[in-house]
Amino acid sequence: MTPGTGSPPGTGPHEPFGSRLYAALDRFGPLCVGVDPHPELLQAWGLPETVDGLEEFSEICVEAFVGRVALVKPQVAFFEAHGSGGFAVLERTIEVLREAGTLVVADAKRGDIGSTMSAYAQAWLGRGSPLESDAVTVSPYLGFGSADPILELAERNHGGVFVLAATSNPEGGQVQLSTAADGRHVSQVMVDEAAARNAGATTLGSVGVVVGATLTDAPALGGLHGPILMPGVGHQGGTADDVRRLAGDCLRSVVPSVSREVLRAGPSVTALREAVSRSVEEFAFLRS
């Protein structure tokens, strides 16, 4: 993998993540593309389910996506499954994307308490960490306050955090749609807590939420003032109409996240770029 030429205008690392993301969405369109080396995709691309196959898959994705999408989301689990060799590929993938000026959210879904959460914070958002990313996904379901170590480091280092609020897996509602003491759904509590962290942001706050595009019962997002990462479009059944319905008045804050819908076009770099262009065009209404 060969590094690129650095951050595009308006996306420098000394700007808050929310501001950098907002500029990238304006420049490249409203789309996050996953780097998900799922075994089925490796097989479809004619690659071995080994570290070498993982590396070739990632190199193709980097070539296809750099300078063409606002945000790239490596799915950490598929790298972690290959042990230290997989993490080494992930480190290089993140480094090359970021050096080329492409924003990276590590889809790690970390969640813990105290010193352990602080260690996760250093791993994914610490300056100079081999895994340093622009943002990371976090599970707040040990209580939103358990995420404070990573939220605090993100603020100091101008990074971003996407907290899982309302996920589209069938089991999610068991917790997320339960009722808090004040009568709100727990998923709404998570959105409201994230909104409180974004108070005073000038363009877009740096604490976002993850809300599945296939949901029928989702939290209100109007007061978030932060990015809304919306997986589930395309292969999982979510449509542009679903995104519009869930976003309401927050269209310009939404970042649809696609993975297999784009990746199944590989391994041709040209075909992957064409798939990206189709997805960007499908969601162009989010920036109009």
Reading phi first (left if > 0) and then psi (alpha if -120 to 50, else beta), residue 206 is in: alpha
3-state secondary structure of 211: strand
**In 10 A of CB 192, how many CB atoms?**
17
Question: Residue 237: its pLDDT value, please?
Answer: 78
Tens digit of pLDDT per residue, the chain (288 long)? 765 555 543 445 579 999 999 999 999 999 999 999 999 999 999 999 999 999 999 999 999 999 999 999 999 999 999 999 999 999 999 999 999 999 999 999 999 999 999 999 999 999 999 999 999 999 999 999 999 999 999 999 999 999 999 998 889 999 999 999 999 999 999 999 999 999 999 899 999 999 999 998 899 999 999 999 999 887 777 889 999 999 989 999 999 999 999 999 999 999 999 999 999 999 999 998
Catalytic center residues: 109
pTM: predicted TM-score of the whole model, two decimal places: 0.95
Considering all CA atoms of the chain, what is the largest pairwise distance in Å, rounded to the nearest integer?
53
The structural domains of the chain, with segments of one domain joined by +, span 17-287
pLDDT at 6: 57
Is residue 212 within 8 A of residue 181, CB to CB? The reply is no
Question: Residue 200: what residue type?
Answer: G
- Find all residues with CB under 8 Å of 3, minimum gap 6, and list them: 95, 96, 99, 100
pLDDT the model gives residue 13: 58
Confidence (pLDDT) at 280? 96
| Matching residue, tokens 């070739």 | 56
Residue with the two structure tokens 């799922």: 38
Measured CA to CA in angstroms, residue 67 lies from 56, 61, 64 at distances of 19, 12, 9
Residues 42-61 as b/e (b if ≥16 CB within 10 A, e otherwise) read beebebeeebebbbbbbbbb
Show the tokens assigned to 271: 């075909």
Q: What is the pLDDT of residue 283?
A: 95
Contact 233, 8 (CB under 8 A): no
Residue spans of alpha helices (H) in the chain: 17-28, 39-44, 51-65, 76-80, 83-99, 114-125, 148-156, 173-176, 186-197, 240-247, 260-263, 269-282
CATH number for the region 17-287 comes to 3.20.20.70
Evaluate whether 110 touches 139 at the Cβ level (below 8 Å).
Answer: yes
Whether a cis peptide bond, with omega within 30° of 0, leads into 39 is no
- Do 214 and 232 touch, CB atoms closer than 8 A? yes
Check residue 191 and give its pLDDT: 98
* Contact call for residues 138 and 111 (beta carbons, < 8 A): yes
